[in-house]
Structure 1
């Protein structure tokens, strides 16, 4: 049956997990040994000039592996799940035609799932005046009040979003405003049938270790020049209301630069919000089906983790894979 599915459906490899769990390093080794091209499943790494705060993979780290959907938009442009899905629908057969495995790597759950199961999204469009009205409401009454508005009309979506995730809260409100249907109702209507022969790998680790890694990464970002990166974006005219500037790291540092929030407090806020974000990522992925979970708590077992993942891939796709990991 697996072989039959493979004939009719193209293979699609996916690696998901919370921020800072170690997806990048593993993805490169998997791609090298399995002849993959990587599609970034991150909603922020598409933006040029936003490198430090997004923990964007460097050309050196890519080790020659082709990467797609990185540095394709300017910060002033909007990136959406529908845009991501549309590009992936073209990229996946294109990569397969070269005899390589399309490999989505990322932590933006809705984006990844929308491709895996070919979600159909209502063409809600946009209402810029409505968005600005919600922004003004949030500025006047606070993010908790804006989040409460969403809770009233779409409690399920609200439960998945932190009150500080202003961009996605406003979008959920906008979808209801334009269509009369909540975002959660739209997602419930999806069939969860996949047009691909899916192999989804999920990475997890001890929660406290993950939080320690998140905090260490943020300290490193600050040392690498995160404040200057955000300052440069603001100086070029990037408003805080932009989709790109609502990303973790950018909105907290902008609060420091524009509102006078002490840097130490901004960093503490960023660490707290990123920990909460990682928790929501794990919650989202645990509700996805078809995931093969790998616990990567013990970093010294990296070769074993890689071998386990390769065995899963070989079994799912029915192809022999030569193990070539080198210490």
Structure 2
């Protein structure tokens, strides 16, 4: 994809032209401007990917995945990877790039994401980090060497859904995953000697099916028992997914209330309580719209003059940024 950019630089008067009256000119020196980063957080199934794409469609942006299971290659249904169609042409990074047998740690994420952010910024775009692995995000933002905080200003968006509502949704989502072929997908990588504490096999929806698959290697288990084990595996996947959502929510509360992160909460509960057009309207009203307002204020309302007038991709699409975008209606 070819990118053409026109940089907007506001003309500044020379310090030699400013009457100083004996004033110390050092007070006029500006601190180096930090780059901007947006982080979209939330429990599994709340719509983080959707919001990140909505935002990336409004600004010249690229998305960095921060889900520790989605970084692995394979098991697209199990890990609920976003599809090419859902990406809507927005570049995504750290998605399906790691060997499924390898261990991708928080340290690996920090180093890889840091390089990716630098590359995105170098292309004049906004990095948007989206994913449910809050341990990865915390390791990146609060690194021991303070590198992230010294280079970047960050805006945290939290897509929240009331737990009872979310639990019903993730339960239904597991049923949809079963219909989409999750059992066949996991069967392809099944190994009775596999270590479920490493690599992609740690993903919820893999170890839960171990007992069921073991019966396929046994001639002593009847079809009724197999069916029961399959049902138990599906139910366990639902339970463990709900437990994951609770842990993710607890971690966000800790980052917000204990560590003092300024995290903007967007309540998406009404979206999950509706269907069709009403749900779409609620998403715009409750999540996408307010999220865009927050990001707009973050990017443009603090006196930064650096901006991009026009960014055009190979398809001819133009996205206007800068002062005009700051004044645009959401």
The TM-score with structure 2 as length reference comes to 0.71
For residues 50-77 of structure 1, give each alpha carbon's deviation from its aligned partner in whole angstroms, at most 9, with x where no partner exists: 1000000011110100000011112111
- Does residue 277 (structure 1) correspond to residue 258 (structure 2)? The answer is no
Q: Which is higher, the Rg of structure 1 or of structure 2?
A: 2
Residues 240 and 254 in structure 1, CA contact (< 8 A), matched pair in contact too: no
Partner of 1:214: 170
Q: In structure 1, what is the equivalent of residue 288 of structure 2?
A: 306
Alignment of 1:284-303 (within 5 A): 284-288=251-255, 289-299=261-271, 300=279, 301-303=282-284
Residues 192, 210 of structure 2: 8 Å contact kept: no
Q: Does 1:266 pair with 2:242?
A: no
- C-alpha distance in 2 between matches for 1:70 and 1:89: 15
Distance apart, 1:240 and its partner CA: 3.4
SS at match of 1:199: strand
Q: 1:81 aligns with which of 82, 106, 113?
A: 106
Q: Does 1:23 align with 2:48?
A: yes
Q: Can you list the C-alpha shifts for 1:273-324, whole angstroms capped at 9, x where unaligned?
A: 1111100100101111111000011113111221111111111122553769
Residues 140 and 148 in structure 2, CA contact (< 8 A), matched pair in contact too: no
Where 1:234 maps in the other structure, the secondary structure is coil
Q: 1:115 matched to which residue of 2?
A: 140
| 3-state SS, counterpart of residue 286 of structure 1 | helix
2:194 & 2:51 partners in 1: Cα distance?
Answer: 34
Paired with 1:194 and 1:256, the residues of 2 have a C-alpha distance of 50
Hey, what does 2:298 align to over in structure 1? 316
Residue matched to 2:77: 52
1:40 aligns with 2:21: no
- Structure 2 equivalent of residue 223 of structure 1: 179
Secondary structure of 1:8's partner?
coil
Q: Deviations over 1:249-274 (max 9, x none)?
A: 11112332136770101111111111
2:155 is paired with a residue whose SS is: strand
Unmatched tracts of structure 1, length 5 or more: 121-189
The counterpart of 1:250, out of the listed 192, 206, 226, is 206
Displacement of 1:194 in angstroms is: 5.8
Residue 43 of structure 1: how far off its partner (Å): 0.3
- 1:240 matches 2:223: no
Instruction: Sort the Cα spacing of 1:33 and 1:238 in 2 relative to 1 into closer, same or farther, 3 A.
Output: farther
- Deviation sequence 1:1-45 (CA, Å, 0-9, x none): xxx77x532111100000011112222111111221000010011
Query: Residues 135-146 of structure 1 correspond to what in structure 2 (within 5 A)?
Result: none
* Distance of 1:35 and 1:239 partners within structure 2: 41
| Matched residue, 1:130 | none
| Count, aligned residues | 252
Please say if residues 40 and 69 of structure 1, whose CA atoms lie closer than 8 Å, have aligned partners that are also in contact. Answer: yes
Q: Distance in 2 between matches of 1:95 and 1:32?
A: 15
User: What TM-score, normalized to structure 1?
Assistant: 0.71
Could you tell me how far 1:191 is from its partner in structure 2?
Answer: 11
Higher strand share: 2
Q: Distance in 1 between matches of 2:208 and 2:43?
A: 20
- Structure 1 residues 90-105: aligned runs within 5 Å: 90-105=115-130
Structure 1 285/302 Cα, relative in aligned 2: closer, same or farther at 3 Å? same
CA distance in structure 2 between the aligned counterparts of 1:302 and 1:22, rounded to whole angstroms: 10
- Tell me the C-alpha RMSD between the 2 structures: 2.4
